[in-house]
Structure 1
Amino acid sequence: MSVILGIDIGGSGIKGAPVDTRTGKLTAERHRIPTPEGAAPEDVKRVVQQLVEHFGLPGPVGVTFPGIVQRGHTLSAANVHPDWVGLNADALFTDATGHEVHLINDADAAGLAEARFGAGQGETGSVLVLTFGTGIGSALVHDGVLVPNTELGHLWLRDKHAETWASDRARERDDLNWKQWSKRASTYLQHLELLFSPELFIIGGGVSKKADKWREHLKAERTRVVPAQLLNEAGIIGAAMMAAGSDPALTAAPAALSPARRAPRKTSG
């Protein structure tokens, strides 16, 4: 089955669309529902259920989550309700929708999509996808295989926490122009370059829509830096890829990312 529903849980909206996972193209217009205030699991579950019913697609569903995801469990909750910590979210959504649901970290989903269908298409070696928004999300893809849950936005640059200093929210908070923000972001990229020596940085998240403002200012020492191509569709596409298991990155990745290799799920009842 190549057309799979992808759902992207965001801070302000939860959006979904069917995706042809052979091409990375949406096959219908996205549908968006505002994220419930507080983003508690039961409230988010109902929105996911509404999106599944809206599209009426058979088969599995991919869902992104803004936090660490391991074997279908959500292990962190920086910008959502604390009840997500330790929750078997795969089972929560599967029971609610009647579909097999597969969860993936939101930045990892964007990274998979960009590496396969976006700015990283055809690249070999290590590609680092960074999403600059409320925080900084990261996805490390090597030869098409995802290393999940890198959370590189939480690195420290001497006395500065990277995402609270160089995110798009930090740019707005500190009233920085794009050149000033790019200087901070460049410092962060150069630190990552020392640690990982990637072949390519792909810059996504909210700032990717304003690439003309920062592209000439954002620099690494050796690594090419390019804006993301898939913009707001990346999470949806990556979630669908995860559920379909149609990409080599999914079948070759660790068990946490491969539905076929997961441990059997315990369900209630």
Structure 2
Amino acid sequence: MQIFGLDIGGSGIKGAPVDLDKGDLAQERHKVLTPHPATPDGVADGVREVVEHFGWTGPVGLTFPGVVTGGSTIRTAANVDKSWVDTDARALFSERLGGHPVTVVNDADAAGVAEMHFGAGRDRKGTVILLTFGTGIGSALFVDGALVPNTELGHLELHGHDAEKRASSKAREDEELTWEHWAHRVRKYLAHVEMLFSPELFIIGGGVSRKAQKFLPYIEGVKAEIVPAQLQNNAGIVGAAMHAADTAR
């Protein structure tokens, strides 16, 4: 079974048809840059461009980098334009895609669901936290495999700042930090999250998961197991498609 999955990020909008039996992309993904400012209309145009690239006409599952309530209403917009707040995202995207069935879910929650089903969290019980390091820090919290949605742990305060302002992948690039220096910031962040939630496992997602060997060896003093996401930066796309399929049942 194939469903289209699409992942909206602070820097890029990427998507592809997903093979839900394998938990992998059925075709090579297509990506466009997220517009700046990332307004609802601008992002919706980018979403349409990605979907039309494949000539897709069926259901589409989308992620959004913020809190999504009721399966549609955007409540936070830290890394996109603030005009997203209170937007009915499902209605917007469905209209822009010609009326196709659309579902919308928090981006890190989608990535986490995919990793728990197909990737690094498969068959893991207890408390598992996936953290996606990108433009910000997204989070997905699971207890015995069940998702606690919209946790937004990237906005925990750490040394007087939102943690994502100090430890996101964007912060590493903007400040031109070495991988080792950045890893020390990530370690402090993980230690703070561990103190609050005592997880058995941290899964590190986002684009940096492809380069785990460059920073994970420097992260010491955290009791929980730390592993890179197995689906890497495609986890959000796969999770979005999974959410669309579950909603259609």
**TM-score using structure 2 length:** 0.92
Q: How far, CA to CA, are the matches of 1:43 and 1:158 in structure 2?
A: 35
| Residue pairs, 1:1-269, within 5 angstroms | 2-71=1-70, 72-97=72-97, 98-245=99-246
Q: How far, CA to CA, are the matches of 2:156 and 2:242 in structure 1?
A: 28
Q: Which amino acid aligns with 1:24?
A: G
Q: How far, CA to CA, are the matches of 1:220 and 1:112 in structure 2?
A: 27
Distance 1:211 1:122, change over 3 A: same
Q: Which amino acid aligns with 1:61?
A: V
**Alpha-carbon distance, 1:55 to partner:** 2.6
Q: Which amino acid aligns with 2:94?
A: T
**Alpha-carbon distance, 1:259 to partner:** 6.7
Unaligned runs of 5+ in 1: 246-257, 261-269
After superposition, the CA RMSD in angstroms is 1.8
| Equivalent pair of 2:187/2:222 in contact (CA under 8 Å) | no
| Equivalent pair of 1:129/1:139 in contact (CA under 8 Å) | yes
Q: How big is each residue's C-alpha offset from its partner over 1:27-83, in whole Å with a ceiling of 9 and x where there is no partner?
A: 111122222231221222222223333334453210111111111111111222222
SS of structure 2 residue aligned to 1:8: strand
Identity of aligned residues (%): 56
Q: How far, CA to CA, are the matches of 1:229 and 1:259 in structure 2?
A: 26
How many residues in Structure 1 have an aligned counterpart in Structure 2?
247
Q: How big is each residue's C-alpha offset from its partner over 1:208-256, in whole Å with a ceiling of 9 and x where there is no partner?
A: 12211112111353210011121221111011011011xxxxxxxxxxx
**Alpha-carbon distance, 1:17 to partner:** 0.4
| Equivalent pair of 1:4/1:57 in contact (CA under 8 Å) | no
**Alpha-carbon distance, 1:96 to partner:** 2.2
Q: How far, CA to CA, are the matches of 1:12 and 1:172 in structure 2?
A: 13
Q: How big is each residue's C-alpha offset from its partner over 1:176-218, in whole Å with a ceiling of 9 and x where there is no partner?
A: 3222222221111111112111110011123212211112111
Q: Which amino acid aligns with 1:169?
A: K
SS of structure 1 residue aligned to 2:104: strand
**TM-score using structure 1 length:** 0.85
Unaligned runs of 5+ in 2: none
**Alpha-carbon distance, 1:129 to partner:** 0.5
Q: How far, CA to CA, are the matches of 1:78 and 1:176 in structure 2?
A: 23
| Equivalent pair of 2:79/2:136 in contact (CA under 8 Å) | no
| Equivalent pair of 2:9/2:135 in contact (CA under 8 Å) | no
Q: How far, CA to CA, are the matches of 1:96 and 1:172 in structure 2?
A: 33
Q: How far, CA to CA, are the matches of 2:43 and 2:161 in structure 1?
A: 33
| Equivalent pair of 2:74/2:89 in contact (CA under 8 Å) | yes
| Equivalent pair of 1:133/1:206 in contact (CA under 8 Å) | yes
Q: How far, CA to CA, are the matches of 2:159 and 2:74 in structure 1?
A: 29
Distance 1:90 1:212, change over 3 A: same
**Alpha-carbon distance, 1:16 to partner:** 1.1
SS of structure 2 residue aligned to 1:212: helix
Name 1:265's counterpart in structure 2.
none
Distance 1:15 1:158, change over 3 A: closer
**Alpha-carbon distance, 1:158 to partner:** 4.2
Q: How far, CA to CA, are the matches of 1:202 and 1:143 in structure 2?
A: 15
**Alpha-carbon distance, 1:22 to partner:** 2.4
